[in-house]
Every structure is written in C-alpha cells, then in structure tokens.
Amino acid sequence: MPDTNSFKTDPLLPALDKLIQYSLFTFVAFAMFSISVTQISFAIGALSWLLKVHLTKTWKEISGTLVGITILCFSLACVLAIITSVDLESSIKHLKKLFQFVIFFWVVNTVQDKKQRDLLISFLVIAGVVMSLNGLSPYLNTNYISHISQRLTGTLSKGSTFSGVLMLAGLVTLGQCLFHQPRKYWLIGSIGVISLCLLMSMTRQAWLGFFVGAVFLVFFWNKKYLLIFPLLIIVTLLFASEQVTDRIYSFKNFKDGSFQQRVSSWKGGWKIFKDHPVTGCGFKCVDSIHSQYPDPTGFVARFRGMHSNIFQLLVDTGVVGFGTWLSIWVAYCIEIFKRLRALAEEKSQDNAIGILLGGSAAVLAFLVGGVFETNIYDSEVAMFLYFIMGLSLAKVEKAPASSLAQ
C-alpha cells in the first residue's frame, strides 16, 4: 500500500489516482466496442499507475499474488523464445503482446474498495448487453436473415473475437445472476440477451467454452439445477434455426471439415515442435518456417497458425513457455479456492463469491475454447480476460470508497 507520508507530500498522487480510476472505467466501458479506445485508456491508466508505484516506492508489492509471479515467469519464457527465434525480426514484432499482461497487475493493484469493484462489474454487464443488442440488430434486416449462416461480428472486427468477448462477458454476468446477494433480477434479462447473441454468433469454440463455464457455475450454485442443461440442449435443437442445429450436431462429427482442418494444422505444428522442443521457433514464426515442412493439405500455409493455444504455444515457445503458461492457471485456481474458503467464513462480502466464480468460469471457458482456437494472440479477447482476472483477485475493502464513485 502507498506510504501515507508520501501521499501527503507529493501533490501529484491525488491527480494520478483520479486518472487511474477514470482510465479503468473507460477501459471496461469500451473493451467490447473499440480496441483503439481500450488500448489508449489502458496505456494512460497503466502508465499513471506505474508512475504512482515509482513515487510511493511500492515496487515490491506489484506482483500481488502467486498468479503475478507465474505471469512474470511466462513473460521471461516468451522473451527467451524470441531471443532464440528462427526469425528474430518477425518474432520481436509480437513482443507487445506480452505488455498486455500489465492489465492484470494494473487492475489487481488499483481496485481497492468494494464499491469501485462492484461498479466496474456493473459497467461490464451493461456493456455486454449493449454489445449483444448491437450484434443482434442485423436480424431486423430481412435480407440478412436469408444469409443467417453468416457469423455476427457486432462491434468487433471478427466473428471469433466478437463471440470470444461475449463468452467472457456472459459468464461474468451469469456469476452475478446466480450468486449476487441481494438478488438483482435485471441480471436475468442481461444473461438472456447475451446468451441469445452468443448462440447466433455461430462460433462453436465459444459455445463450448460458455457451456463448460455455465456448468461450472451452476455446479457451485446448486447441483440439482444441472439437469436444466440437457433440457436446454433439447429445446435448442427443437426450436433453433437449421444453421444453429447443424453446427451443434457437428460436435459429434469428427469428420467435420473445420475439425479436420484443425487436426491437419496440429499435425504440422507437432512436426515443427519436435525440431524446436525447448524454446520453440519463436513468437508467430510459423510464417517463416512452415514451408520447410510437408504440408499436403495446405492448411498450415493457409492459416499460418495452429488453431489451438496448446499447439501454438508449443510451436512458439516450446515446453518452457507452455509449462509456465500452465503454471499461470494452476496458480489462479489455487488463489481462487483459497479465497473461496476464506469467504465461506465472511458473510458480509455479498458480491465477492459471484465475482470470484464468474471470473473463474470465464478463465475456464477461455482455456476450453483455446483448445480449438488460438485466442492468446487475439488482443480484444486477451485484454478483456486479463482485466477479469485482475478484478476477481483484487483485494478490496469496504472503505474508503473510490474517489470516482464519490
């Protein structure tokens, strides 16, 4: 925590505090709409926070939890992968992807009171609903309905990005809907709108991630209601459009074209990994190296990526990077369960359990969806995930309330 004497003697700190808080709210408000505004608010807020850390001499405290330490270890492993890259010039261009992890440290260290945290969650839910309504708006156009198989892109550039952000926002909203005390009934409508838009996005990896995350939340809320999921699947198959039901049925079809494309890409990636097993071939260096390997299907050359976080990390960073990547999520799970155990004895934190479990469900969905999609390089999805992680692990107090909230 900042030194009280430093705070009194340095007139810049109160201004930095306000700038940091406004940047946080701008970040979460635009995270689903504009990558440019999101990056600008992140840059302003993070730099202000780092300046505050420097002025208050609190560098030793910024790692926060064990999660922060594992993130730093992964970043070092990625730097090593870049140094040993087969194409240093190409690989070093993606070094900026590692700076996005600063979002986690920025959030976990600056969200310090309950009122501020809960207000950020409300902003997140409202932004998710607005994003979903915007995404569903094309269905008001009868010409669009005739091409309903098209993926929704909403406010973002790609359908996979749009559905990935929806997946994360939806699970945080569902966590609030199930666990918030006292219950807020407007959250029921919110999760309904977000879920509908996610269904219409036609993105199976996001469907799978959301489904696993929702099962996780309902399991912790009330196991008896797990029976609702088979019923929801049956209702969807009976009443959804043919395009939706066809994509649902494709989950059990291992000969599906898109799945076979992924398998072919994974086989090509495995061959590359075997030649660079320790530190990988370098960040996003598949473009430079894929032509050296047999690619009879042409899918590796076409996608220039592995369509899987697992294979992408093995190819890019080797076992060192992949191992430290796994350590982040192991540390996150340990920290979450430690806090849940502590909250079981603390009844006054009426919203903390919902945020902890909602954030955990979002992380779980990201990891599950990442088996079939390389979303670690998707800036919109990754930045939003790091924000949710930081918010779920922020150590908040009931007082004093944030200056912005006041």
- Residues 47-103 pLDDT 10s: 999 998 888 887 777 776 889 999 999 999 988 988 888 877 777 877 778 889 999
pLDDT of 294? 63
Say which range, 75-89, 193-207, 260-274, 392-406, has the weakest mean pLDDT: 392-406
Q: Could you tell me how many residues make up the chain? A: 406
| Cβ burial, residue 115 (10 Å; 0-12/13-18/19+) | middle
pLDDT of 379? 87
331 vs 343: CA distance, rounded Å: 18
pLDDT tens-place string over residues 111-153:
988 888 989 999 999 999 999 998 888 777 655 554 555 677 7
Say which range, 25-29, 186-190, 266-270, 365-369, has the weakest mean pLDDT: 266-270
Query: Is the pLDDT score of 7 beyond 50?
Result: no
By the 8 A CB rule, do 123 and 173 touch? no
pLDDT of 304? 62
Query: Which range has highest mean pLDDT (121-130, 178-187, 197-206, 305-314)?
Result: 121-130
In this predicted model, which residue has the larger pLDDT, 313 or 183?
313
Query: Is the pLDDT score of 406 beyond 50?
Result: no
Q: How large is the greatest C-alpha to C-alpha distance in the chain, in angstroms?
A: 68
306 vs 289: CA distance, rounded Å: 13
With a CB cutoff of 8 Å and minimum separation 6, the contacts of 290 are 268, 272, 300, 301, 304
pLDDT tens-place string over residues 252-299:
777 777 777 788 778 878 888 888 889 888 877 777 776 676 665 666
In this predicted model, which residue has the larger pLDDT, 397 or 279?
279
H helix intervals, 201-308: 204-221, 228-239, 242-249, 257-275, 286-289, 299-303
pLDDT tens-place string over residues 315-355:
889 999 999 999 999 999 999 988 888 877 665 556 888 89
184 pairs with which residues across the strands?
Answer: none
By the 8 A CB rule, do 396 and 349 touch? no
User: Model's pTM, two decimal places?
Assistant: 0.88
pLDDT of 3? 46
pLDDT of 215? 95
Output the average pLDDT for the chain. 84
Query: Is the pLDDT score of 34 beyond 70?
Result: yes
With a CB cutoff of 8 Å and minimum separation 6, the contacts of 161 are 153, 378, 380, 381
pLDDT tens-place string over residues 347-380:
555 688 889 999 999 999 999 998 888 888 888 9
CA dist list (Å): 248 to 142, 167, 180, 238, 346: 24, 17, 31, 12, 42
Query: Is the pLDDT score of 219 beyond 90?
Result: yes
